[in-house]
Amino acid sequence: AQKFAETIMTTDTRPKLASVRAKVGKKEFSLLGIAKGAGMIHPQMATMLVYLMTDIAAPAGKLRLLLKAAVDDSFNCLSIDGDTSTNDTALLLASGQSGLGITKQFATALHQVCQSLAEQIVGDGEGVKHVIHLYVDEAKTRAEALHIAKAIAHSLLVKTAWAGADPNWGRILSTIGSCGIAVDPDKIDITIGKQTVFQKGSVRPFDEKRAHAELSEPSCDVRVRLRRGKGKVRFLTTDLTAEYVHINADYST
């Protein structure tokens, strides 16, 4: 598995693997995931290869439904640079050797493995210094929350602010306002790290040095609350650094 993971690497700096082994009654199933991806990463998956292998026994149609649900919450909620290609693949292969069918434990394991691989991909993004866990809460629908999350994640001004660990809530707010959804700024909260920096139409006094320090960490949470409904999404994204430009300026196919 390690050699296979290394073989499919391109601009990746490290192989990406995740696995689960679990018992259901007296039987046991295993699930192994191997992925590659470091650039041109944006839903729907883009230049990403994901191979999921298990020994459960299940028809292709049911596996496809499970895979779609797991991918929607992981690889389709992930963006490094907003670019795509035609070369995306996610395969779920089942040998049937365990004699076990689909169970809740397997569905949970599939989500865990896909989420782990998504985290590994975004953490190994080209030139990435900061991984952002972006939460959009209380949108009208999940689709609306995802639309707003993508707009924030793909804003060059937002991404470069994150590269400088700059808690620039104004860039986030202006991106929300220009994304095509009629949000009410008087209902919006923006939280960076552990501090709410904008609340219901007004900037809140906050410790800028602390916010800068939190954004300077390898990983930081950014949360947007819209007060429009119950739709929400967790989205993985990154900063945009000079190293990313150098990698792609020098890379030739």
What is the tens place of the pLDDT at every residue in 110-149? 999 999 999 999 999 888 999 999 999 999 999 999 999 9
Q: Is the pTM of this model over 0.75?
A: yes
Per-residue model confidence (pLDDT) at position 253:
62
Catalytic residue chosen out of the listed positions 47, 54, 237, 238: 47
> DSSP letters along the chain, please?
-HHHHHHT-SS-SS-EEEEEEEEETTEEEEEEEEEE-SSS--SS--S-EEEEEE-----HHHHHHHHHHHHHTTGGGB-SSS---S--EEEEEE--TT-----HHHHHHHHHHHHHHHHHHHHT-TT---EEEEEEEEESSHHHHHHHHHHHHT-HHHHHHHHTT---HHHHHHHHHTSS----GGG-EEEETTEEEEETTEEPP--HHHHHHHHHSSEEEEEEE--S-SEEEEEEEE---HHHHHHHHH---
What is the tens place of the pLDDT at every residue in 7-42? 989 888 999 999 999 999 889 999 999 999 877 666
Q: Is 47 a catalytic residue?
A: yes
Per-residue model confidence (pLDDT) at position 37:
83
pLDDT band at 45; cut points 50, 70, 90? very low
